[in-house]
């Protein structure tokens, strides 16, 4: 007895589209040749002019294999003509090679404004985003200037979060450049549902409390990152972090209350470490690059060994005896003459 997929293909060739759809659906339900079944299902739906159902099936097939020639041909034939002009389609496809949880469909959220969309991923997670002049920003009902009463039905992503590098909107490929305030914040809830986060290389800003209170144990910050806002990773289970060279500011309380965080690498290029940035973390010693010009109040836990490599940065007077400080022997006189460091005991290396 022939399998479902072969029967479906035969019926499709004979233009018996309704029967073909039944066999392709049966193939998918039995997990038999799922990509081929979705492609066949898409072609059958397009043939009977059920374009929306066709697009859903097509993009499910593309999510499994974004480079398959049959799917690309179908996109060119059935989708691209309807994407011209100013209309925003209900379903779009994107390059998925760089994301382990690819976007399957994208739909506009007109009640939140013409630049708001929701992307459904293969895992079932949904990411809401806003299109701006520089690219896409991931948003949520808790983000500033959003109206919570317009977000009926919103479900926060959970588990392993994969944020795509690019999203295609209206046939235009846009970079994902920012995570807005509070998007994945779990600090107020008892249950921690977010276990890991994978950021794309183009992220430039991470907003206030974006991942605060989540159960993530590691995070790789992309080289394009320029600013980490207040409490972005506070109360997480992160154990090690490297701040990329293009990042200029670590916000207030950014990694505070991260008791497992003991290994921190700061790259030259960082300018400001704000108040409480690493307070109540597991840090015991840290190297401060020459580029740092300001260290905020209680930026590190008490008795942290800090090794400075440049001229004296601005230091809160309240922190005069908070740390064990080491400075270059040839710069000791600069610290002795600096008002912020006048009463700080410094050691040399």
User: If you search the block for the tokens 């022939």, which residue do you land on?
Assistant: 2
DSSP, res 88: P
HEC secondary structure over 71-95: HHHHHHHHHHHHHCCCCCCCCCCCC
For residue 44, tell me if it sits in a domain.
yes
Q: Which of 221, 248, 245 is nearest to 233 (CA)?
A: 221
Same domain for 192 and 264, yes or no, is yes
From 32, 48, 83, the end of a domain falls on 83
Residue 281 covered by a domain: yes
* Residue 72 domain boundaries: 4-83
Phi then psi dihedrals of residue 257, to 5 deg: 60, 20
Claim to verify: residue 116 and residue 252 sit in the same structural domain:
yes
pTM > 0.85: yes or no: no
CATH number at residue 76: 1.25.40.10
Same domain, residue pair 45 and 172: no
Say yes or no: 134 and 14 in one domain: no
112 and 199: one domain?
yes
User: How far apart (Å, rounded) are the C-alpha atoms in residues 59 and 45?
Assistant: 13
Q: How far apart are CA 62 and CA 64, in angstroms?
A: 5
* Distance set, CA 330 to CA 307, 310, 342 (Å): 14, 10, 17
Structure confidence at residue 91 (pLDDT): 39
Q: Which of 241, 275, 273, 244 is nearest to 258 (CA)?
A: 241
Q: Render each residue's pLDDT in the chain as its tens digit; 349 residues.
A: 358 888 888 888 888 888 989 888 888 877 778 888 889 999 999 888 887 788 878 877 877 776 677 887 777 677 655 443 333 333 343 433 345 777 778 888 766 667 888 888 888 899 999 898 889 999 988 765 556 666 777 888 999 999 988 888 877 888 999 999 999 999 987 688 999 999 999 999 999 999 999 999 999 999 999 999 999 999 999 999 999 999 999 999 999 999 999 999 999 999 999 999 999 999 999 999 999 999 999 999 999 999 999 999 998 767 778 899 999 999 999 999 998 888 888 999 9
Q: What is the number of domains present in the chain? A: 2
What CATH number has the domain bearing residue 182? 3.80.10.10
pLDDT of residue 288: 95
Q: What is the pLDDT of residue 228?
A: 97
């Amino acid at each position: 007895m022939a399998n479902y997929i072969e029967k479906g293909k035969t019926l499709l060739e004979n233009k018996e589209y309704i029967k073909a759809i039944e066999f392709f659906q049966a193939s998918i339900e039995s997990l038999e040749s799922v990509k081929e079944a979705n492609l066949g299902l898409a072609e059958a739906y397009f043939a009977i002019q059920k374009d929306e159902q066709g697009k859903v099936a097509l993009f499910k097939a593309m999510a499994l294999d974004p480079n398959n020639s049959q799917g690309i041909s179908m996109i060119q034939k059935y989708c691209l003509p309807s994407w011209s002009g100013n209309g925003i389609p209900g379903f779009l496809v994107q390059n998925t090679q760089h994301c382990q949880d690819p976007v399957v469909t994208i739909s506009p959220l007109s009640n939140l404004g013409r630049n708001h969309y929701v992307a459904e991923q293969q895992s079932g997670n949904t990411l809401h985003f806003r299109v701006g002049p520089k690219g896409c920003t991931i948003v949520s009902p808790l983000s500033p200037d959003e109206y919570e009463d317009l977000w009926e039905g919103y479900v926060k992503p959970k588990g392993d979060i994969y944020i795509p590098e690019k999203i295609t909107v209206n046939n235009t490929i846009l970079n994902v450049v920012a995570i807005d305030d509070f998007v994945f914040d779990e600090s107020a809830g008892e249950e921690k549902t977010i276990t890991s986060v994978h950021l794309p290389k183009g992220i430039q800003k991470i907003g206030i409390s974006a991942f605060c209170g989540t159960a993530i144990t590691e995070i790789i910050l992309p080289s394009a990152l320029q600013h980490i806002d207040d409490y972005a990773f506070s109360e997480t289970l992160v154990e090690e972090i490297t701040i990329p060279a293009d990042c200029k500011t670590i916000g207030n309380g950014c990694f505070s209350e991260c008791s497992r965080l003991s290994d921190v690498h700061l790259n030259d290029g960082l300018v400001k470490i704000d108040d409480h940035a690493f307070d109540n973390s597991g840090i015991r010693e840290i190297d401060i690059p020459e580029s740092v010009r300001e260290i905020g109040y209680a930026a590190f836990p008490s008795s942290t060994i800090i090794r400075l490599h440049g001229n004296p940065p601005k230091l809160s007077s309240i922190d005069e005896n908070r740390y064990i400080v080491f400075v270059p022997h040839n710069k000791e006189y600069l610290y002795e003459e600096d008002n912020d460091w006048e009463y700080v005991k410094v050691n040399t290396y």
